């Protein structure tokens, strides 16, 4: 009797696996939702719509973007975490999510690395480190030297926990230095604060800040990514300026709920990475102020782990608390 019962369990398990495999082979056979934790029009939403259109063309089913703004993308991720891991609910993740893993851990209700299946990293956009055109500071070395000699160094950001906040913190922490954080309601007010010498410096998105730099309104003393942007090939990176391995960007990646079949993950990753090589995708992303930065599933997973660990350390060192 016990042998028969075990045999029945084994047969049931094999049948379930066979059914799951059959569904995976047919994937997708109905529309796929791509959740975005922000309102339409931003860089994360743009990445979702561009990659969604490409996946639709490649895989022959509709990939529909659904915007669920609120709580710094936590609401959208909560919904995605509860979805069936069948590949029909995906989510676009970004820098905020690897910060939320520490800063807002008590609010999320999920462990990011346990709740989601990374699929592929898609895009990134870097920042200029900018000071007023009237500032005496002309390099990162001079900025650090100024900070060592003066206790009134301040920096603006687009808000608590954003790359423009934690990126500057990381840069100063690398030298054992401190500066006063002044959060603003967005990139525009932050830039105006630099222009008016209200703050010493800020991170400004490379694509949107290039006009101000070229117009002489602000001075770019460095770039935040690990490689120089083609928009400003003469501006050195922070890493080149003496902070090894510094690489702070605004990025977007595509995830699904944990437990997705491996072949569906691979299908979506391969299709997404292929889409990022398309000249029209590259051109469309450039117009939106971002660029392809493809990482496959394994590379993206490693990247996420490193990001979470990095921002956890920065947050602890700066004693940053949630709002």
What is the mean pLDDT of each successive set of 10 residues along the chain, which is 323 residues long? 42 40 71 97 91 96 97 97 98 97 95 98 96 97 97 95 96 97 93 95 92 94 93 94 94 98 98 96 88 96 98 96 87
Q: Please give the pLDDT value at position 289.
A: 84
Count CB atoms within 10 A of the CB of residue 257.
Answer: 21
Question: Cα–Cα distance between 144 and 286 in angstroms, integer?
Answer: 32
Give the chain's domains with CATH numbers.
29-125+249-318 (3.40.190.150), 127-223 (3.40.190.10)
Instruction: Give me the pLDDT at residue 25, please.
Output: 60
Radius of gyration of the chain (CA): 22
Residue 91 CA to residue 254 CA, distance in Å, equals 6
Residue among 124, 128, 125 nearest 223 (CA)? 128
Nearest Cα neighbor of 253 from 113, 106, 110 is 113
Name residue 155's beta-bridge partners: 181, 201
Phi, psi of 296 (to 5 degrees): -75, 180
- The reported pLDDT for the residue numbered 22 is 44
pLDDT of 10 = 39
- What is the reported pLDDT for 43? 86
C-alpha to C-alpha distance for 185 and 182, rounded to whole angstroms? 10
Instruction: Map residue 126 onto helix, strand or coil.
Output: coil
Q: Read off the DSSP letter of residue 236.
A: P
């Amino acid at each position: 009797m016990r042998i028969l019962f075990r045999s029945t369990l084994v047969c049931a398990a094999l049948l379930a696996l066979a059914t799951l495999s059959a569904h995976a082979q047919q994937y997708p056979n109905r529309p796929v939702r791509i959740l975005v934790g922000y309102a339409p029009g931003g860089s994360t939403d743009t990445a979702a719509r561009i990659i969604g259109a490409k996946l639709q063309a490649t895989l022959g089913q509709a990939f529909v973007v659904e915007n669920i703004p609120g709580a710094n993308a936590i609401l959208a991720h909560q919904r995605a975490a509860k979805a069936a891991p069948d590949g029909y609910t995906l989510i676009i993740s970004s820098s905020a999510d690897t910060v939320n893993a520490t800063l807002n851990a008590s609010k999320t209700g999920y462990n990011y690395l346990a709740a989601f299946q990374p699929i592929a990293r898609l895009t990134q956009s870097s920042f200029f480190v900018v000071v007023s055109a009237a500032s005496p500071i002309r390099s990162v070395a001079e900025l650090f030297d100024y900070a060592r000699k003066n206790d009134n160094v301040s920096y603006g950001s687009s808000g608590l926990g954003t790359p423009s906040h934690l990126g500057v913190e990381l840069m100063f922490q690398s030298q054992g230095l401190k500066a006063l954080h002044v959060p603003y309601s967005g990139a525009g007010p932050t830039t105006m604060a630099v222009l008016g010498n209200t703050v010493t410096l800020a991170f400004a998105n490379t694509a949107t800040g290039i006009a101000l730099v070229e117009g002489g309104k602000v001075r770019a003393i460095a770039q935040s990514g690990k490689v120089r942007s083609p928009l400003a090939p003469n501006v050195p990176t922070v890493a080149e300026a003496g902070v090894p391995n510094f690489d702070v960007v605004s990025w977007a990646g595509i995830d699904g709920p944990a437990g997705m079949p491996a072949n569906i993950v691979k299908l979506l990753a391969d299709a997404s990475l292929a889409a990022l090589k398309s000249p029209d995708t590259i051109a469309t992303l450039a117009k939106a102020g971002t660029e392809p930065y493809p990482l496959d599933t394994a590379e993206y997973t490693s990247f996420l782990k490193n990001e979470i660990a990095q921002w956890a350390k920065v947050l602890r060192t700066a004693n940053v608390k949630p709002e």
